[in-house]
Amino acid sequence: MKGILLSFDLEEFNLPLEYNLNISKDEQFNFSLKGLKKIINLLTKHNIKTTFFTTASFASRYPKIIKDISKKHEIASHNLHHNTKNYNHDEVKKSKQIIEKIINKKISGFRFPRLQKPDFNSLKELGFKYDSSISPTYLPGRYNNYFESKKITIKNKIYEIPISTMPLTNLPLSWLFIRFFGLNYAKIITKYSMKNQKFTNLFFHPWEFNNLSKLRIPFYIKRNSGDKVLKLLEDYIIWAKNNNYQFQTFNELLNQYPLQ
């Protein structure tokens, strides 16, 4: 069985701050919560499992919601806060402790904000099993991981599960590119990834499922947001199920394909 790893980064919507737009903490959290509710309804409708990488700050703001989500889906760490630019052992440790206390179970996955590389020695020490912070592509101003492996690898006993990418160009199957290039783009990468890596890893953010058109942020970030991305994701889910692809959590995939 080939697995699709659909995941969502639950975080405070602080992206406007990068463009010098004022947005309060309450607005940041409420904006993401609004989108999260749409996601949950969609996942429930199609009865699929996913992984939610949540910041501890988001989980602390909505503990009951996160605990309810954990009853069916996998919860993993997305750091303590989303505005951290450099990996910090103590912050990641605290995020793990807070989230585990909320859901009353151990978490084993991590994704660093903005897909920056983590400290694998630190993740191992903290008891994580896997990381999904690496997108094997080149994104100017963000990272250059073009020559990173597209397959699951082991780095200091931590499984690294990369974001899926397009052949040759290595354009990623991530929120921005999916919304910009559309459903056929997602289908091509999925088929390629299933054939060559035996899994497909794609992700979104809850705030994308709100209408971003009125925000003074770049056009390419606002494109196809709100109901448009909701329909795009639903069409993708229906297509994937019709092709007998199974949606899995990261832990389920690793348990099915042990590498050690």
* Alpha-carbon dihedral 96, 100, 105, 111, rounded to 10 degrees: -40
Identify the helix (H) or strand (E) that includes residue 193.
Answer: helix 183-196
Radius of gyration of the chain (CA): 17
The model's confidence at residue 85, banded by pLDDT at 50, 70 and 90, is confident
Give the model's pLDDT for residue 90.
Answer: 98
> Which residue range forms the structural domain that includes residue 222?
3-256
Cα separation, 91 vs 94, in Å, equals 5
Counted domains in the chain = 1
The model's confidence at residue 2, banded by pLDDT at 50, 70 and 90, is confident
Q: Give the pair of three-digit tokens for residue 31.
A: 């904006």
CATH number at residue 211: 3.20.20.370
Cα separation, 107 vs 101, in Å, equals 10
- Single-letter code of the amino acid located at 5: L
pTM across the whole model: 0.96
pLDDT tens track for 108-166: 999 999 999 999 999 999 999 999 999 999 988 888 999 999 999 999 999 999 999 99
